[in-house]
Structures are given as structure tokens and as C-alpha cells.
Amino acid sequence: MPRRIAILPDAVADQIAAGEVVERPGSAVKELVENALDAGALHVRVDLEQGGKTLIEVSDDGCGMGREDAVLALDRHATSKIRSAADLVGIRSFGFRGEALPAIASVSRFRLVTSEDGNEGTEIGVTGGRVDGVKSLARQRGTTVTVRGLFFNTPARRKFLRSVPSETRAAHDAVATLALTHPEVGFELHIDGRSRLMVPPDQSPDERLAAIWGHDLVKTLITLDHAVGSFRVTGFIQRPGDAAPTGRRTQLFINDRPFRDPFLVRAAEAGYRSAIHPGDRPSLFLKLETAPGEVDVNVHPAKLEVRFRDRLGAERAVEEAVREALGRIAAAAVVWANVDRTDESFRTDRADIEGADGVLAFFEGAPSAPSELSLLTDLSAPPALTQLFNTYIFYAESDRLVLIDQHSAHERVLYEEVMTRIQSGGLPSQRLLLPFTLEFTDEELEAIESHGEQISRIGFEVEAFGGRSVVVHAVPAPHPRFDAERCLRELVSDLARGRFGGWANRLERFAATYACRAAIKAGEVLTEQEMRGLVTRLFACALPPHDVHGRASMVQLPREELERRFGRR
Ligand SMILES: Nc1ncnc2c1ncn2[C@@H]1O[C@H](COP(=O)(O)OP(=O)(O)O)[C@@H](O)[C@H]1O
Ligand SMILES: [Mg+2]
């Protein structure tokens, strides 16, 4: 019988490992930056082209490698970081599997230049796992790894890469996360020749967090520090009043090692209980510490996940730490309750908008021609309008009582207006004197990319700003109390989550989503003039009595019905 089992050649084994270790350019960036940090670098520079698809280069001023080590480093399971499995317990270095360099080199055109003494250096070129040559050259102490044409020899894998912006974001996040773990190390990230992230060495952990997450977000955080059982949880969580449905950041560490764990994020959210609105997602920066034997860091090829011996204990510790931190600020909550969210934090300052007065025209503008469906018989002598519960507009005609839902009516009005104007070239927008920046998730950024044309047609002028940031230069102005920032967040979140499905036409779906988010809300006080403008425009719509969800925007009570109920008929 012929033998059926064979040992795979190293090159094949490396390519298979590469499939797990190097999923996308961002994972190669992560591995290479981790190596630089493990080598004790004080400066790390990362260069990317085309989201890392064409070029990734990571340079450091760490300990470097001598010639023999450099050659050995490209072998599978070659590592300087552990000698036996026992060393894994309590390991402090990022690396220990000895897989990253050979894996990356097996699926790219790879070059390693390194020097241990800052004098004599070694250059090794590898193409698709095959060593092209080893040369001597002069180099300062440290290491540079250059990766070109990632996955050039594994077309199936290459096909799975996402868009350049999406890969860029993943790589940016990998660098940002590692920059948070080592505030004493300086980092530079250059994307297609432009500097996208630059943090100096010797920062304090707080300074580093502010530099990476931005001052605006960091201002909304409170500290937490709580020990439960075998865990201690420190870090920062967002004030409940500042949590929003989108744009959250989360970062978890276990014994200083970044990791992902949706269950712990959920445990933290459980700690908020009813302190936040149901759809809001608070930003979290949580550092867990526990005895080394309590956690296994070698359960994931890319080391992104860990296993806890006492998972419930970890979850309980996080939940309680969050609750304890929120309890400490309970007194402050009284202050927030007095702050009107729509007036303060969630509002674009009207003074920022040029010609803000122009938006008043929206409510004043009379429709060009009332449609036949108009239910108001005589617009020139309209009945008195009353606002009920800050939500409904009420009036009486000779033969009926009418209640209009202000939000759904405005939704209908905006929807029709947007449909017409999008098709005929777009809505006018207001340029902001002070552009503002918003953060989004990957899915949301993809929604922004794929709806870019429509978003600009309704009057938002947005520009990608590296990482997950988007700068907003101009906004639409559908009504005086319009909160542009909130509207854009909600609109993008809806698009990303596929809400408002069921519209056959993409443009209609977009218009409906925008209309819902931009419309005045229930609970907003309207002036008589605003009510009149809204009612007038509602009756100019093609389909007044229903909002874009098909719900009634108007309820009528015929006079006859009243008379019947009072026994007059
Ligand atoms: N930037 C670097 N500076 C110094 N040594 C490095 C660098 N990158 C890799 N090495 C060496 O190469 C070895 C293999 O790296 P890698 O394949 O990433 O495995 P691991 O990090 O798990 O040990 C490392 O253990 C280290 O000794
Ligand atoms: Mg490594």
C-alpha cells in the first residue's frame, strides 16, 4: 500500500499559517508593529500605500538582529521570546508563536533590513516564501520590514480584501491600539505619503489616550477603578449623557495586552443599566488585571482573543466596576438632567452656520399649488392652530376636528421635497464656518461611501479624514431647530444597519431615512407660524395623510361623530 500521509513542505505550511495570522494588511501591520515593540523600540514608523495592499513598511529603532538570527527569524516557529510552553504563563511580549515573519514572507515580496550594533546590517529578500538572497549593508540599530504585493501569490485571498479606505482603517486601528499600549513609544503612521497619526514618545497614558481618541471624546469619560474577586478593572467609561448610538470606541486590555471580547463589552453595558438610552453605545477603555495563571493568551492565531479561567468572574468584575464608577457620579447626573440635550451637546451651534436665518424660510414658504387632496378647504382664512402635548397640531373646521402628528407630517413634507430636489440636482446647503468631525464604525463608513452621492445631494458635504473620522463642511437646513450632527449620525447608522428596508428604490429608501431623521421631533415646541407653514406644506404633498412608514400623520373626528357621542343625533 502506498503511503497516503505526507508532511507538508514548509512553504505550504507557512502559507496555511498565513491564512490565519495575516487575514488582511492590517493584521500584517499589527504583527510587525508588535515585533518592533517587543524589540524595545522607542520610535515606530509605519508607511502604507493603497491600504497596505501594495506596500506596508514598518521601521523601528529596537534591538535589531544579527545575521544568523535574521535568517532564523524567517523559519517557522522561530522565536526569541519563549523557550518552553511554561514560559507562556504570564508572558509580557506580544509575540511568542514565531509565525508572523515566515507567514507574511510566504505571501508577499518581503524585505527585512536589520542591524544589532548600528553598523553592520543584514538585508534579506524573500519572494512568496523563497529566499532571494542575503546581503550585508550598513544600517542604524533597528529593523525595517517592507512588504509589497501582499497575497500576490494567493489570488483567492487577495480577492477578499475590502476597499482601500476600509483596509486603511483596519491598519490605522491596529497602530492606534498598539500606540495605546505603549505611551512611552513614539509612533508615526503615513498613508500614501501623508502623515495620519503622529504621537511623540514619553507620553503619559492619559495624554496618549487623548492623542489617539481625541480630546472631545476623552472629555466625556470618567475614570473607573474597582477590584472584584481575582480581577481589578481600571480605565475609563463614557458618561451616560454623552453616549450616542454611533461613533463609540472600545478598547479592552488584559494584563496590558489588547484583546477583543464582545461579552465583556456587553457586561460593561449591563453596568450602565438604564442610565443610558437603549440605543446608545458608550465608549469604553477597560484594563483588566489578573494573575497570569487566570488567563490563556494563546487561543487565537492572531492573538486577538484570550480565554479566562473564570469568565463569569471577569464579566461580573467589569459590570460591577462600571456600576461603581457610575454610582460615584450619581450626584452629577442631576446636573445633566437639567441640560437639554438638543440645546447643548448635540447641537451644531447656529452661529456657526452662515445665513442661518435663511432656514426660517422653510416654514414660511407657501406651497406653489395646493393639491386636490388638500383637506383644508380655505387656506386664506385658516382656522386657529393649537399645539397639543408639544407633539400634535390641533384645529377645528366647520365639519370636523383634526389632529396632525408634527413629526410624521414633517417627515412626509421632507420626503417629497427631497425626492424632487435630489432628482433635480440637490438641496441647498449651509457651509459651516467651523467644520466638525464625527467618528463612525466600519459599517457606517461603508454606508457613507456607498451613499456618498445622495448624502451630498441632500446638502451634507463630508470628507474622509483618515481613520474613522469624517469632517463635515456643510449641512442641509430643513428647519430652524435642525441638529445636523445628530441627523447625520442617525442617518448613517440607519443606512448601515439596513433599517428602512422594504423600499424597492434605493433613492426612495434614502429619502425616507433622511426625512425621518431630519424632521422635527415629537416634543418640540412650535410657534403658530411654524405650525401654519407645516400644515400648509403638508396639504401640498401628493400623499398628505401618511408618513413615510405608512402610518397616519393625521386623525380626523367628524362633527357628526361628536354629535352621535353626545346624543345629539
Ligand atoms: N522588529 C524586530 N526587531 C528585532 N527582532 C525582531 C523583529 N521582528 C522579529 N524579530 C525577531 O524575529 C523573531 C520572529 O518573529 P515573529 O515571526 O513575529 O515571531 P514572534 O514575534 O512570535 O517571536 C522574534 O522572536 C524576534 O526575535
Ligand atoms: Mg511577532
Instruction: Give phi and psi for 303, each to the nearest 5.
Output: 55, 35
> How many A from CA of 230 to the centre of ligand 1?
32
Specify which of 32-36, 405-409, 548-552 reaches the highest per-range mean pLDDT.
32-36
Report how far apart, in Å, the C-alpha atoms of 38 and of each of 61, 118, 138, 258, 425 are.
Answer: 11, 18, 23, 14, 55
Residue 265, ligand 1, Cβ within 6 A = no
Report how far apart, in Å, the C-alpha atoms of 310 and of each of 10, 268, 293, 316, 317 are.
Answer: 38, 17, 11, 10, 11
Location of C-alpha cell 497602530: 175
Candidate from 101, 124, 145 with most ligand 1 atoms within 8 A of CB, to mutate = 101
Looking at residue 208, what is its pLDDT? 94
Ligand nearest to the CA of 124: 1
> How many A from CA of 95 to the centre of ligand 1?
7
Here the cell at position 101 is 515573519
Residue 64, ligand 1, Cβ within 6 A = yes
Residue 113, ligand 1, Cβ within 6 A = no
Looking at residue 514, what is its pLDDT? 84
Looking at residue 60, what is its pLDDT? 97
Residue 26, ligand 1, Cβ within 6 A = no
Looking at residue 504, what is its pLDDT? 55
- CB contact at 8 A, 136 and 71: no
Q: Cα–chain-centroid distance for residue 420?
A: 32
Here the cell at position 13 is 505550511
> How many A from CA of 285 to the centre of ligand 2?
25
Identify the bridge partners of residue 557 per DSSP, sorted by sequence position.
Answer: 401
> How many A from CA of 208 to the centre of ligand 2?
23
- Which residue's C-alpha comes closest to atom 7 of ligand 1? 35
Residue 65, ligand 1, Cβ within 6 A = yes
Residue 189, ligand 1, Cβ within 6 A = no
Sheet holding 284-289, edge to edge: 221-228, 231-238, 284-289, 250-254, 257-259
Least confident piece of the model among 61-75, 389-403, 475-489, 518-532: 475-489
Least confident piece of the model among 21-35, 97-111, 358-372, 451-465: 358-372
Rounded to whole angstroms, how far apart are CA atoms 358 and 379?
24
- pLDDT, one tens digit per residue, over 212-257 is 999 889 988 999 999 999 999 999 999 877 888 888 999 999 999 9
Residue 91, ligand 1, Cβ within 6 A = no
Location of C-alpha cell 396639504: 539
150 against 539, higher pLDDT: 150
Q: pTM for the complete prediction?
A: 0.63
Residue 70, ligand 1, Cβ within 6 A = no
Looking at residue 503, what is its pLDDT? 59
pLDDT band at 500 (very low <50, low <70, confident <90, very high): low
Residue 100, ligand 1, Cβ within 6 A = yes
Looking at residue 346, what is its pLDDT? 24
pLDDT band at 374 (very low <50, low <70, confident <90, very high): very low
Looking at residue 386, what is its pLDDT? 92
Cα dihedral 450, 453, 456, 458, rounded to 10, equals -100
Q: Cα–chain-centroid distance for residue 444?
A: 7
**Which residues are CB-contacts of 150 (< 8 A; sequence separation ≥ 6)?**
22, 25, 28, 52, 53, 56, 104, 107, 108, 158
Residue 166, ligand 1, Cβ within 6 A = no
HEC string of 91-112 equals CCCCCCCCCHHHHHHHCCEEEE
pLDDT band at 487 (very low <50, low <70, confident <90, very high): confident
Helix (H) or strand (E) holding 262: helix 262-272
Backbone Cα Rg of the chain: 30
Rounded to whole angstroms, how far apart are CA atoms 57 and 530?
58
Looking at residue 51, what is its pLDDT? 96
Cα dihedral 557, 562, 565, 567, rounded to 10, equals -160
- Which residue's C-alpha comes closest to atom 21 of ligand 1? 95
Does residue 47 register a pLDDT over 70?
yes
Structure letter (DSSP) for residue 366: P
> How many A from CA of 32 to the centre of ligand 2?
7
**Which residues are CB-contacts of 201 (< 8 A; sequence separation ≥ 6)?**
42, 43, 184, 185, 186
> How many A from CA of 490 to the centre of ligand 1?
44
> How many A from CA of 84 to the centre of ligand 1?
16
Does residue 356 register a pLDDT over 70?
no
> How many A from CA of 83 to the centre of ligand 2?
15
Ligand 1 atom nearest 96 alpha carbon: 22
- Which residue's C-alpha comes closest to atom 9 of ligand 1? 35
> How many A from CA of 35 to the centre of ligand 1?
5
Mean pLDDT of 365-376: 31
pLDDT band at 397 (very low <50, low <70, confident <90, very high): confident
